[in-house]
Amino acid sequence: MLSFRTTGYNGYGVRYSPFYDNKVAVATSANYGLVGNGRLYLLSINDDGSITQDNIFDTQDGLFSVAWSESHENQVLTSSGDGSISLFDITLSKFPVMNFKAHQREVFSVNWNLVEKHSFCSASWDGTVRVWSPMNSDPLLTLTSAKDHSVIASAPGSKMAPPLSAKPSLENTTNDCVYNAVFSPHDANVIISCNSASHLQIWDIRSPQPLQMDFIAHGGLETLSCDFNKYRTSVIATASVDKTIKVWDLRTISGVAHAGSPLQPHHNVGPTPLNRFIGHDFAIRNIAWSPHSGDKLLSCSYDMTCRVWNDQTDDKARFLNKTNHGQACVNVFGRHREFVVGCDWSLWGEPGWVASTGWDEMVYIWDAKRKY
């Protein structure tokens, strides 16, 4: 286990570089992200086991998320509490090379397209998911799920009249905060997102009606994180304040909203998941499927732990009502002393190395297979 302290700044997001096996980016905020500035850390993991700081970038508002570019080895995205997104070149100093400003509230996640590699998406508390190009300061597309669950899709130059205003009122979006949006690693045009109204939504950005599927994932409770399985194209996972992780096979979900149709009142509970993991004591803040194995999942929680899960379900598990509970948890990392908010798998070397960061101002690099 290796460690680094982000003194004076509380960790929110951590990501391994897709180009270098020893570089990690960490997004942090002063005063737990409630007020004050932020700082982006660029760290190197050395052969002697130490972690050193290569560069830092200070920002005017707290940082909530970070994502490495998939097309340029020295570029990193951050999202901020003031609604802005910044693109940094880690070889430069002080200032970003590009700023993106369209969100009206905190941007809680940014995610780079793993397939097309020249676009990224963002999720915000203003209730929108936006798709961007790093070459354009304006969003390419805005996806908005309104309270009646109809869809707004607007793009610069589009002549299509949206069913509702393309500028949703902020006074009604606090209950529809989008916490996370992720591009599919299998299809460059598919995005999943989750929000505070417990909805998991699948979008196809090529379609005139981008919303392809919409269902209640966690019984009406806030859904904080979602991710695509890297090996099973139709399998995703969601995590919630209800302390559970649910695994879904999108092929087996029926009776939910499709292609912009409204969600019916009797769908308050939602469909049956393929699997469910129970073990965290408080809300689960982030999850990530392993890039090395289709049955391993990483999570971090407000209970100050990270956990590694083994998903042993198959396509028939839903119909057998087979769910794994405590026995699915194969490792617990408990070195953090505050909320653990960010986690990520290493793409390199022996499969199993992960990074985590939290409000205790600590970044840990640890082996997911080793007991601590």
- Condensed to tens digits (0 to 9), the pLDDT of residues 196-245 reads 999 999 999 999 999 999 999 999 999 999 999 999 999 999 999 999 99
Query: What's the burial of 17, exposed, middle or buried (CB within 10 Å: 0-12/13-18/19+)?
Result: buried
Q: Which residues of the chain have pLDDT under 50?
A: 147-174, 259-260, 262-266, 317-326
Closest CA to 286 of 123, 144, 133, 51: 123
Percent of the chain with pLDDT over 70: 84
**Residues in contact with 18: Cβ distance below 8 Å, sequence separation at least 6, in sequence order:** 68, 70, 347
Domain residue spans of the chain: 2-367
* Contact indicator for 308, 275 with CB cutoff of 8 Å: no
* Contact indicator for 200, 237 with CB cutoff of 8 Å: no
Q: How many CB atoms lie within 10 A of CB 164?
A: 14
Report the chain's terminal Cα–Cα distance, integer Å: 9
User: How confident is the model over 88-129, as pLDDT tens digits?
Assistant: 999 998 899 999 999 999 999 999 999 999 999 999 999 999
Pick the CATH number of 2-367 from 3.40.50.620, 2.60.15.10, 2.130.10.10, 2.60.120.10: 2.130.10.10
**Residues in contact with 265: Cβ distance below 8 Å, sequence separation at least 6, in sequence order:** none
Predicted local confidence at residue 351, as pLDDT: 83
> How distant, in Å, are the alpha carbons of 261, 308, 343 from that of 198?
17, 23, 22
| The residue to which tokens 């508390």 are assigned | 125
Predicted local confidence at residue 255, as pLDDT: 55
Closest CA to 193 of 123, 248, 263: 123
Closest CA to 244 of 215, 287, 188: 287
Average pLDDT along the chain: 88
Alpha-carbon distance of 263 to 247, in angstroms, equals 21
Alpha-carbon distance of 26 to 33, in angstroms, equals 14
Q: How many CB atoms lie within 10 A of CB 113?
A: 22
